[in-house]
Amino acid sequence: MLAAMNLLPFEPQPPYRSRRFVPERIDLGDWNQVAPLFDKLESAAAAPTPAELERWLLDGGELTAALDEESSRRYIAMTCHTDNPEAEKAYLHFVEEIDPRVKPRQFKLARLYLEHPVRVGLERERYFVFDRSAQVQADLFRPENVPLETEEAKLSQQYQKLIGSLTVNFRGEERTLVQMGRYLEETDRPLRQEAWELTARRRLQEAGRIEDVFEQLLKLREKIAANAGFPNYLQYAFKWRGRFDYTPEDCRQFHESIEKEVMPVLRQLQGRRREKLGLNTLRPWDLSVDPSNQPPLRPFEKVESLVANTQEIFTQLDGGLARDFRLMHEKHLLDLENRKGKAPGGYQSTLAESRLPFIFMNAVGIQRDVETILHEAGHAFHALAAREEDLYSYRSAPIEFCEVASMSMELLGNEFLEKFYAPDEARRARRQHLEHVVDIFPWIATVDAFQHWIYSHPGHARAERQRAWLELMDRFGGDVDWSGHESVRANLWHRQLHIFLHPFYYVEYGIAQLGALQVWCNAKKDKGRALQDYHRGLALGGSRPLPELFAAAGCRFDFSRQTVQPLVQMLQSQLDNPGE
C-alpha cells in the first residue's frame, strides 16, 4: 500500500476480528474511499430494531478502529524514522487530510444515535457509559467555539515555541534548557548552582511574554465556557474532560489529603536529604542529586538485557503478564533502543484493529528506562486485557484508570529490581522511585489547586494570580530555601506545560497514583489475589464508570485522608527499609 508501511518495526498484523463492514482492500489515507463508508453508515442509521442499532454501532466502531490503526501505524513509522521524509509526509497527510474530515462525520453519527427512537430499547447497564459520553459531546458542541479552539491551539503552540527556543550559554556552549536538566544531578554543588541559576534567569527574562500568552488563553477559555452556557471555565472543563465521577469539591478534598498526609513525609525526606548532603538548608539546586553523592545507576548495557530482565520480572509477578510481554517481544512490538533517527521520548500505542500494543522508547541504560518499560508495559497489558471488547470506545479506559494500570506495574516491578542490580543498588533504585512518588503528589496538588483558583476567579489581576500561587507554594513547597530567588519561586508555574496546553489535565496522575498504591498494598498482603483483581479491572476497558473500574481492581475511588493515610504509611515504611 504505502512505502512508509515498510518502515514499521513489526509485520502488519491482521484485524483481531475479520472485517465485515470496511472493505478488506481499501486505502484509508484516501478520503474518496473513506467517505462512502460514512455515507453508508448515515443511511443505515434508520435501523428499525435495537439489535440492528447495536450492529450499526459495531460497524461504526470497526471503521473508527481501522482509521485509528492506520493513523497509529503512520505515527509509529514516522517516530521510528524521523529522517525519512516519506514517513513524515504519510503521517501529515493523514492528520491534515483525513482527521479533520472524519471528525464532523463522527459527530453527525453520534447525533443520529442519540436521537434514535429505538435507543431506549438498548440495555441501559451496557450503554450507560457510552451514552453519557455521547450526550456530553453533543451538549457542549457550539459552532462559534470552533474558531476559538483553533485560536487556543495556536496560542498553545506559541507557548511551546517560546519555551522550546530558550537556550543558555553554559561554559562556552549553547544548550537548551532540557539539556541543562542533567547538571542538577551532578555531585559538584557549585556546578549545580551555576546551571540552575543560569536556567532560572533565562526563564525569568521571558516571564512577561509567558504571562501575556497565558492571559490571552484565559480570555479565550472564559469565552468558550460562556458560549456553552457555563458560569466559568472550571465547570465547563469538568464536563468537557468527561469527569462524570468526581467534582471540583472532590479535588479540593484531594489537595487537603495531600497537605495533611503527604507533606509531613515530604518534609521528613527533605530533612534527611539535607543531613546526608551535610547542608544547613536545601536550596532549589539540591533536590535532584543523589543524597549520598553516588554516581548514577547503570541497570543494563544492551537493550537485550533490558528485555530479558523485564521478562523475568513479569515471570516472577504473574504467568499472564509474562505471556503478554513475551508475545510483544516475539511480534517485534517493542522498539526500545535509542538510535539515530528516532523521535525522543517514549510512548505506548494501541493498534486499534489488530488490538495489539506497541512500545516505543529511547533506552540508554539508566534507571529511568527500567521505570519506563514497566510503566509502558502496564499500558500494553491494559490493551491486551480489553481485547475481547467489541465496542470500540470501550476498549480504552479514562486516563485516571489507564495510569493505574501503568503506575501499578512500576510499583510491583520495582520489587524485583535485583534482576538488574546488586542488592545495595537495587535498594537505592527502589528508594529513588518511591521518593519520587512522594515528591510528585504535592506538585500535582499545587498545579491543580492553582487552576481551580484561576478559573473560578474571572477577571483577576496578574498580581492576585501570583499571590494565589505563592500561597500554594507555602502550602505544598516543603522546606526549600529560596532566598535570593523569590521571583523564580513566584513564577515557577510557567514551566508546567499542562497549565498552558491542557488546562486541568494533571490531577489524573494523582488520582491514578492513589489507585496504583492500593494495588501495591494489596499485593503486599496477597500477591495472587491483587494481580487477579488488577487484571479484572483492566479487562473492563472503558465500559464502566471510574468507581467500578477501581473497585474491580480492588481499590477505592476516594480521595479522603482515610484512603491516603495507609498508603503513605506503606510508602514511609518501605522508604525506611527499601530492602523488603
Q: Which segment (79-87, 264-272, 293-301, 406-414) binds Zn ion by CB under 5 A?
A: 406-414
With respect to Zn ion, which residue has the nearer C-beta, 350 or 406?
A: 406
Cβ closer to Zn ion: 408 or 543?
A: 408
Neighbours of 293 (CB within 10 A): 12
Which of 145, 309, 406, 451 is in the footprint of Zn ion by CB under 5 A? 406
Name the minimum Å distance from CB 445 to Zn ion: 19
Distance CA 212, CA 462 (A): 10
455 touches 503 (CB < 8 A) = yes
C-alpha cell at 443: 506538585
3-state DSSP call for residue 490? helix
Q: Which of residues 7-46 bind Zn ion (CB under 5 A)?
A: none
Q: Which is nearer to Zn ion, 309 or 406 (CB)?
A: 406
Query: Segment near Zn ion (CB under 5 A), from 50-58, 115-123, 361-369, 399-407?
Result: 399-407
Residue with the closest Cβ to Zn ion? 406
Neighbour count for residue 264 (Cβ, 10 Å)? 12
Shortest distance in whole angstroms from residue 402 CB to Zn ion: 7
Q: How crowded is residue 13: how many other Cβ atoms within 10 Å of its Cβ?
A: 16
> Please, which residue, 284 or 378, has the CB nearer to Zn ion?
378
CB of 349 or CB of 543, closer to Zn ion? 349
Binding positions for Zn ion, 188-247, rule CB under 5 A: none
Amino acid at 519: V
Strand partners, 356: 351
The pairing of strands 173-176 and 167-170 is antiparallel
Distances 249 to 238, 254, 255, 382 between C-alpha atoms, Å: 11, 9, 10, 30
Question: Closest separation between CB of residue 173 and Zn ion, Å?
Answer: 33
Q: Cα–Cα–Cα angle for 30, 36, 40, nearest 5°?
A: 150
Binding residues for Zn ion, rule CB under 5 A, total 1
**Shortest Å, Cβ 397 to Zn ion:** 12
| Shortest Å, Cβ 514 to Zn ion | 15
Q: Whole-angstrom Cα distance, residue 324 to residue 148? A: 44
Output phi, psi for 479, to 5 deg: -100, 75
Q: Which is nearer to Zn ion, 112 or 405 (CB)?
A: 405
Comparison of 406 and 518: residue with beta carbon closer to Zn ion? 406
Radius of gyration, CA atoms only, the chain? 25
CA gap 367, 423 in Å, rounded: 15
- For the chain, the helix, strand and coil percentages under 3-state DSSP, each to the nearest 5: 70, 5, 25
User: Closer to Zn ion at the Cβ: 393 or 406?
Assistant: 406
Closest separation in Å from C-beta 376 to Zn ion: 7
Helices assigned H by DSSP within 45-144? 50-80, 85-93, 99-114, 124-140
Residue 559's contacts (CB-CB under 8 Å, 6 or more residues apart) are 246, 250, 251, 253, 254, 257, 511, 514
Considering only the stretches 105-113, 153-161, 170-178, 398-406, report the one whose residues sit in contact with Zn ion under the rule CB under 5 A.
398-406
Q: Which of 538, 537, 519, 536 is nearest to 384 (CA)?
A: 538
- Give dist(CA 364, CA 303) in Å, integer: 8
CB of 259 to Zn ion, least distance (A): 26
DSSP annotation of 289: S
Q: How near is the Cβ of 406 to Zn ion at its closest, in Å?
A: 4
Work out how close the CB of 509 gets to Zn ion at its nearest, in angstroms, rounded to a whole number: 8
Residue 435 makes CB contacts below 8 A (sequence gap 6+) with 269, 575
Of 71 and 406, nearer to Zn ion (C-beta) is 406
Q: How far is the CB of 73 from Zn ion (least distance, A)?
A: 21
Least distance from Zn ion to the Cβ atom of residue 16, Å: 23
Question: At 24, is the secondary structure helix, strand, or coil?
Answer: coil
Q: Candidates 252-260, 298-306, 402-410, 477-485 — which segment interacts with Zn ion by CB under 5 A?
A: 402-410
| Residue whose CB is less far from Zn ion, 59 or 324 | 324
Rounded CA-CA distance 494/203 in Å is 8
Shortest CB 439 distance to Zn ion, Å:
17
Q: Are 203 and 491 in contact (CB under 8 A)?
A: yes
**270 or 406: CB nearest Zn ion:** 406
Minimal distance, residue 68 CB to Zn ion, in Å: 18
Q: Which residues pair with 348 in a beta bridge?
A: 359
What's the closest the beta carbon of residue 371 comes to Zn ion, in angstroms? 11
- From the number of C-beta atoms within 10 Å of its C-beta (0-12, 13-18, 19+), residue 574 rates as buried
Which residue type, as a one-letter code, is found at position 539?
A: A
| Stretch of 121-129, 191-199, 349-357, 400-408 contacting Zn ion, by CB under 5 A | 400-408
Does residue 393 belong to the site contacting Zn ion (CB under 5 A)? no
Q: Which residue stretch of 165-173, 404-412, 452-460, 562-570 sits at the interface with Zn ion (rule: CB under 5 A)?
A: 404-412
β-pair partners for 334: 359
Comparison of 382 and 428: residue with beta carbon closer to Zn ion: 382
Instruction: Choose between 217 and 363: whose C-beta lies nearer to Zn ion.
Output: 363
DSSP 8-state code for residue 90: H
* Cβ proximity to Zn ion, 34 vs 405, nearer residue: 405
> Residues in the site for Zn ion, rule: CB under 5 A?
406
